[in-house]
Each structure stands twice: as C-alpha cells, then as structure tokens.
Amino acid sequence: MTNGKVALVTGASRGIGRACAIKLGEAGYKVAVNYNSNEAAANEVVEKIKAAGSEAVAIKANVSDLAEVKTMMREVINTFGQLDVLVNNAGIVKDEFVLMMNPDTIDQCLDLNIKGYMYCTQQAVLKMFSKKQGVIVNVSSVSSKLAVPGQSVYSATKGAVNSMTATMAKELAPYGIRVNAVAPGFIATDMVEALPEDKKEEYLKDIPMKRFGTAEEIGDVVTMLAGPACSYMTGQVIVLDGGLSL
C-alpha cells in the first residue's frame, strides 16, 4: 500500500541512504533510489521496498553533476508523476590534516556535499512549487558542530549544509516546503567501517551511549521529518549522535 507520496533519496544504494529509502518505502512512499555506481545494491533496495508493498525505481546519477541531476529528476517525474520528499544524503568524507589537504579532495567534497545538495534541492523545488508542498531533509553530520581533527574540509561542507538548511527553510516556507536536517554522529556504515580499528575504539570512548548508531535509527528520524508529525518544523538540525556532542 502506498501513501500516494513520492520520495527521492540520493546515495540510497548503501548506508544511511539505503536505510532512509527502505524506511520511507515501509511508510508507504514510492521511492526513487539514487545511486552512483553500485547498481546491484540499488536494485536490492528497490526489491526490499517492493516486498514491503510500495513502489520503487533505481536511478543512476552522479549528483555532483547538474546535468545528471536534471536527467534524474525527469526520470522521477516520468516514473511517478510527482515529487514530494527529497532526502539529500549522498556524501563523502576524506580526512586530511590542514597541511596535507589536497586540492582534489577539497573539490570532491565541495562538489558532492555542497553543490550536490544545492543542485538536487533546486531541481526538486521546481517540481514542488506547483503543488505548494514538499519536504527536503538534508543529511548533515555532527562534524558540523564538533571539531574532529582531519575533518576541516568535511566539517566545512556539513556546516554549509546546516546554513543552507536554515536559509532555504526561510525562503521556501511561504511555498509550503519544509527544509530540515539530521546530523548523525558515528553510524555503522561503510564510511565508518573504513576507519582504522584504533580510531574506532578512540571514538567509541567519547560516545556516552558507548556504541555507534545504526543507519536504521537515522532512517526512522528522516521518515518522521518527512511526515505530518513534523508539519510545523522547519530549518532545524536534529543531532543523532548517542550524546557525543554533549
């Protein structure tokens, strides 16, 4: 059973995006599952959503490329006829200390984590305006609020996500479009699995709840932000970090 609404989740083949897509599908949204390279993983997400009784389609697009974002949006509309919810999730982290910062790293992080969110939001809003309703949920990071050595570039991109969330929320509120963000702490995905073991143990010591979060825990909150329970909330950044930033 669908709820008649359509959600697009960027970077939904793995990790947090995957969990958001599945949770939204279980909540009745028809879901466009964006991926960059991992078609098999994206198709598996599509099958899970269909098994939960909703509809889904996998769409390949590099969301740091405006032309590909425009094509992806056309495909969403051609498939489902509308777009109600955008989850800007596709992002990368590349830790480098200030003196080691590589121009390519800076470009990649800015292109995906900032420009990608802007391109997708702009193209989504063009589809939402006519209905005067819509929801954008940006996946930020606790690194936007907490200084983690090596993350100057990453934290700058996530700080930008928080700022654009507030500004876009104010701009778009008169048009019935809400914009919020979640700021996860350490979540057990490929991104965190890639950290060296000693780093993981060090980070765990700093988390009052003494565990990493799960992608599903983020997906639950993203789904709540998309729905009527949060109909009077806009411009907010919800921190989900097991107490890390307290």
Kindly list the residues in this chain that would bind ligand NAP in the complex (CB under 6 A). Answer: 10-17, 34-38, 41, 62-64, 89-91, 93, 112, 139, 141, 184, 186-187, 189-192
- Choosing from 154, 175, 203, 232, the catalytic residue is 154
Q: Which is nearer to ligand NAP, 173 or 194 (CB)?
A: 194
* Least gap, CB of 6 to ligand NAP (angstroms): 18
Q: Which is nearer to ligand NAP, 91 or 134 (CB)?
A: 91
* Least gap, CB of 40 to ligand NAP (angstroms): 9
The residue among 171, 177, 185 whose CA lies nearest residue 140 is 185
Active site residue 154: yes
* Least gap, CB of 65 to ligand NAP (angstroms): 8
Q: Which is nearer to ligand NAP, 134 or 184 (CB)?
A: 184
Q: Are 188 and 218 in contact (CB under 8 A)?
A: no
Helix axes 15-26, 215-226, angle to 10 degrees: 50
Residues whose CB falls within 8 Å of the CB of residue 108, separated by 6 or more in sequence, listed in order: 64, 92, 94
The residue among 158, 118, 139 whose CA lies nearest residue 226 is 139
Q: Are 214 and 189 in contact (CB under 8 A)?
A: no
Give the catalytic positions in this structure.
154
